[in-house]
A and B are shown apart, each in its own frame.
Chain A
Amino acid sequence: MDFRFDIIAEYGSFFFKGTLLTVALSFAGVFFGTIIGLFIGLGKMVKTKWISFIFVCYINILRGTPLLVQLLIIHFGLVPFIFHESNGILATIVALSLNASAYIAETIRAGIQSIHKGQMEASRSLGMTHVQAMRYVILPQAIKRILPPLGNEFVSLIKDSSLASTIAAPELMYWAQAMNAQYYRVWESYLTSAAVYLLLTLTLSHVLGRLERRMDAK
């Protein structure tokens, strides 16, 4: 079997651009997913039953349906409905953010609830409001416990973002498929993309691991 490095080199700049987009999409997913997830997570903890039920539904629907299905609905349904034209990158960011937010919401809720309830009581007994206690006492402590699983979510999103190739968002997997379509070369295209994904996820895991250890030391 011959392995044609020359066509990989030819697609090098495409792979590079695709990789940048993959990282950007995943980062956007984590970023917006965290912001939305914080509200969803806090919403699920609201004591009023019917309010928390809305957030429970949101989480269950987004976690209980495939990301690919969500991506297609958003790309062919939601985005054209709102903007009157489709946009693969936008649809991917929306789908990844919403999907990640459901998982992140649960992470954040678990992180907050893992903080001893005495912390909230002590804060309230000093006259702080619930919001002040959350902001200055509970969340800063919860973040330490939320960050490691949030990092794992980032790693998952890097892999999940490959689904965007199905709606022609020009990320890493899209270029691998384009290369395969042009040359009918399975190994070169898919092994290259696999190697890049592996490089990204391993690097990220390593960085997150070090970050975690540094926070523990603090």
Chain B
Amino acid sequence: MIKVRCLKKMFGTNHILKDVNITINPQEVVVVIGPSGAGKSTFLRCINHLESITDGHIYIEDADITDKRTDINKIREKVGMVFQDFNLFPHMTVIENIMLAPIKVKKINAVQAKDKAMTLLKRVGLETKADVYPDSLSGGQKQRIAIARALAMEPDVMLFDEPTSALDPEMVGEVLDVMKRLAKDGMTMVVVTHEMGFAREVGDRLIFMDGGSILEENTPEELFDRPRQERTKAFLSKIL
């Protein structure tokens, strides 16, 4: 469903991504790990074209997003994204945050959008927060709302860019729980994270990135227990 071919990304003369190739299948949960500066977030942001792509191709359900004729807004409707710092819209209530894109982009009516939003709020366990502003929520609650907001567009894939890195430790669990349930429901997910427990438990496939390339990919068990590359071993020994 997502095919990345020879992806290269440069900031000025700086090679952020060098020749990344990967195929992500429907319903697969791919977890991306690696040291900071490895290009993990950039890789994720290239998938929905928040970063321009220097060279290579990314196909999402056979549409080449690097092709100028592809309507990137249509692609983005199918690719949900969750950010490290939530990026909720502070001038709108929680439910308005969730309803905005379905109403403005998908043009569904407000009643339907509200029903859908309430269902999603129940799913992330925050139906009582519908009418409050994001300011009054904890970090964990904000991130669950952000997930609900992305799900409201009924995406085929969800991208998570270090979704728990900005959270206090006691709130990490509630966000990971939502993500685990999402994975169980069959959502295709690409997750950049430092939560190795989550990677092992939920990931179908683990990818280790360093220096702008994918150095190793395998099932979580294999990669954690029998890493093949020296750099993978060095990284894992530092964090496990």
Cβ contact within 8 Å between A127 and B153? yes
| Neighbouring B residues of A124 by C-beta, 8 Å | 50, 73, 76
Chain B residues in 8 Å Cβ range of A136: 100, 104
- Contact yes or no, B101 A128, CB < 8 A: yes
B74 at the interface (CB under 8 A from A): yes
Establish whether residues B81 and A127, one from each chain, have CB atoms under 8 Å apart when the complex forms: no
Cβ-based interface call for B199 (8 A): no
A116–B85 CA distance with the chains assembled, in angstroms: 11
**Structural contact, A122 and B83, CB atoms closer than 8 A:** yes
Are the CB atoms of B87 and A127 closer together than 8 Å? no
* Interface membership of chain A positions 121-142, coded 1 if the CB is closer than 8 angstroms to chain B and 0 otherwise: 1111111110010001100110
The reply to whether A125 and B73 form a contact with Cβ atoms under 8 Å apart is no
Tell me the bound Cα distance from A136 to B90 in angstroms. 12
A125 touches which of B76, B85, B89, B106 (Cβ 8 Å) = B76
Interfacial residues of chain B within 78-131, with CB under 8 A of chain A in the complex: 79-81, 83, 85, 87-91, 100-101, 104-106
Partner pick for A137 among B48, B80, B85, B89, CB 8 A cutoff: B89
The answer to whether B50 touches A126, judged by C-beta atoms less than 8 angstroms apart, is no
Interface size, chain B (Cβ < 8 Å): 25
Interface mask (B149-169 → A, CB under 8 Å = 1, otherwise 0): 110010000000000000000
A173–B81 CA distance with the chains assembled, in angstroms: 59
Give the number of residues in A that approach B within 8 Å (Cβ atoms).
18
A119 at the interface (CB under 8 A from B): yes
Return the chain A residue nearest B78 by Cβ. Answer: A127
* CB neighbours of B100 from chain A (8 A): 126, 136-137
Other contacts beyond A127-B105, A144-B91: 12, CB < 8 A? A118-B83, A121-B87, A122-B87, A124-B50, A124-B76, A125-B76, A125-B79, A125-B81, A126-B77, A126-B101, A127-B77, A140-B91
84-141 of chain A: CB within 8 A of chain B = 116, 118-119, 121-129, 132, 136-137, 140-141
